[in-house]
C-alpha cells in the first residue's frame, strides 16, 4: 500500500515539475525578454495600434489608426512585423528559442494556459507590446485564422479603462 501511495505522489510531483501552468512567470519572462528592446522603442501610439489589433478591431478602424501614425511609427510597425516573420531576425530567433523551451512544459489546457500567459505579460509594465502581439495571436488562433472580429461596446469600455491605467 505504501509503495502505491509513493508512486502516485512521485507521479504527481514529476508531472507538476514540468507544468507550464506552474511556470507561467518564467515563461512570460522568456517571451518578454525577446521584446524588451522593441517595447522600449515603441511609442504610445504604436502600442495603442497593437492593442487595437489584439482587441480585434475592424480593418477600417485599424486603417484609420494607422493613418494617425507618423511615418517613423508606420516604419516601426512594418519592421516589427517583418522581424516577427523573418527567420534571420534577432526577434524571430529569440521567440523561436523561447518556443522550443516552452515545448518542454506540459499543460492540460493550452488555450487556458495561453490566456494566463497573456494576462501575466499584461501585468508587467515593460511587456505590453509582447502581450498585445501574443493576445492577437491567441485571438486569431481561437477564431481559426479569421482576423476580422469587431469588439463590442463593453470591450471598448474595458479597453479605455486599460489605456487610462497604462498612462498612469
Q: How many distinct structural domains can be found in the chain?
A: 1
Picking from 35, 63, 41, 58, the residue whose alpha carbon sits closest to that of residue 131 is 35
Could you tell me the three cell numbers for 92? 524571430
Q: pLDDT digit string (tens) for 4-22?
A: 333 333 333 334 345 666 7
pTM above 0.85, yes or no: no
**Share in percent of the chain as helix, strand, coil (round to 5):** 75, 0, 20
The pLDDT tens digits for 20-67 are: 667 889 999 999 999 999 999 999 999 999 999 999 999 999 999 999
What are the residues facing 106 on neighbouring strands? 19
Q: Is the pLDDT of residue 76 over 70?
A: yes
Domain span at residue 120 reads 2-167
Q: How high does pLDDT run on average in the chain?
A: 79
Amino acid at each position: 500500500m505504501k509503495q502505491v501511495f509513493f508512486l502516485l505522489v512521485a507521479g504527481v510531483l514529476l508531472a507538476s515539475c514540468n507544468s507550464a501552468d506552474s511556470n507561467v512567470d518564467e515563461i512570460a519572462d522568456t517571451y518578454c525578454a525577446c521584446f524588451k528592446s522593441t517595447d522600449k522603442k515603441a511609442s504610445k501610439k504604436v502600442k495603442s495600434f497593437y492593442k487595437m489589433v489584439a482587441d480585434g478591431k475592424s480593418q477600417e478602424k485599424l486603417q484609420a489608426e494607422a493613418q494617425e501614425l507618423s511615418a517613423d511609427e508606420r516604419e516601426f510597425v512594418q519592421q516589427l512585423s517583418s522581424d516577427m516573420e523573418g527567420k534571420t531576425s534577432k526577434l524571430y530567433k529569440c521567440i523561436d528559442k523561447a518556443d522550443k523551451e516552452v515545448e518542454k512544459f506540459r499543460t492540460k489546457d493550452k488555450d487556458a494556459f495561453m490566456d494566463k500567459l497573456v494576462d501575466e505579460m499584461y501585468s508587467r509594465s515593460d511587456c505590453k507590446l509582447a502581450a498585445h502581439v501574443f493576445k492577437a495571436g491567441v485571438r486569431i488562433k481561437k477564431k481559426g485564422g479569421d482576423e476580422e472580429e469587431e469588439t463590442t461596446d463593453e470591450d471598448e469600455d474595458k479597453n479605455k479603462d486599460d489605456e487610462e491605467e497604462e498612462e498612469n
